[in-house]
Amino acid sequence: MITPLPTPGFAFEILATLGHARAGVLHTPRGPIPTPVFMPVGTQGTVKAMTVAELAAPPLDARIILGNTYHLYLRPGLDVIAAHGGLHRFAGWDRPILTDSGGFQVFSLSALRDIDDDGVTFKSHIDGSRHRLSPEVSMHIQGVLGSDIAMVFDQCPPGDATPEVHELALRRTTAWAERCLRAPRPAGQALFGIVQGGVDLERRRRHAAEITPMGFDGHALGGLSVGEKIESMYQVFDDFAHTLPFEKPRYVMGVGTPPDLERGILAGVDMFDCVMPTRNARNGYLFTSQGKVVISNARHRLDTGPLDPDCPCQTCATVSRSYLRHLCMAQEILYNRLATLHNLTFYARHVQRLRERILAEGQPMAS
């Protein structure tokens, strides 16, 4: 089943379902994105330690990456990116890009900002300069970046927020979503809405009833993995994710571990992003088919075997655990590249295996 999305050139095709899980393809003007999909995070216009050739090459074969509105606005600045004609040419990446709206930074940099109904005033974490971010400004920045998928500007409450803060965030996120829809954006740029509500299912359903009729190209669950208990996040996955419109892609923002991804996919989520595979790689934590490896542990000092014998990435094919440990302990730059390539490949293959299971065991959708 293929459904055209509101933005011309975009369509969402569901190939098979297995319970609430779906395997499909998000069709975009810059190429198809098989779903479910994990999207590597490129905060500063780069997925840390990776070249675009490494990202695009099998077995990683990343079909879409993320860029960060807040960080790219501050550095290098919109004039630099505009001079290149957008983020794709600036970064040398010709596949799709999704940009967040800056809303999460409103949450994460709480000591540097003030929120009101119109938007957010914040101090740069780089030089302390003052800036104003609103729905219209966020859409303008994402327009200059030229992302294929833009996100609405939202307010993301922390996991321990009071009911009053959640209600205010819902009201503002709905109002800001309407303003984002009215703001100009480049032809061919899709726009996703964001549903907030924390771990309160009634609040989530109420907010979804406001957001989903607006005509977005897809819908995201925001405000998760922000300090709530993992069991509560999983309840939102299980009881709520599948209630979002069936014919449009569903995206959980900023999540998570491999088990988080599996739980979300089985609950009906199609798209994920998280800094965990890249950040953990740089910090010496590597994901393998045999469990998590802390590469600095002395047990790996004389281990001449591969990091993961079941992994086809170049790291596992060419170097030993012993060599990786040496690079890590010596703080060699090459360690970051090899470790990041492996972790991202692990995530990509983890999601791919789940997709293949849905296609093999699920119910095919009629054309």
Cα 108 from Cα 124, distance rounded (Å): 13
114 noted as active-site residue: no
Cα 76 from Cα 52, distance rounded (Å): 19
User: Who's near 344: CB < 8 A, 6+ residues apart?
Assistant: 40, 47, 50, 55, 60, 62, 277, 278, 281
Q: What are phi and psi of 210, to 5 degrees?
A: -85, -40
Virtual torsion, Cα 227, 232, 235, 241, nearest 10 deg: -20
Instruction: Give the orientation angle of helix 135-145 with respect to helix 163-182, to 10 degrees.
Output: 50
Q: Which two tokens stand for residue 89?
A: 């040419």
Catalytic residue among 148, 154, 260, 273: 273
100 noted as active-site residue: yes
Of 336, 318, 356, which Cα lies nearest the Cα of 36? 356
Catalytic residue among 79, 100, 116, 154: 100
Please list the active-site residues: 100, 273
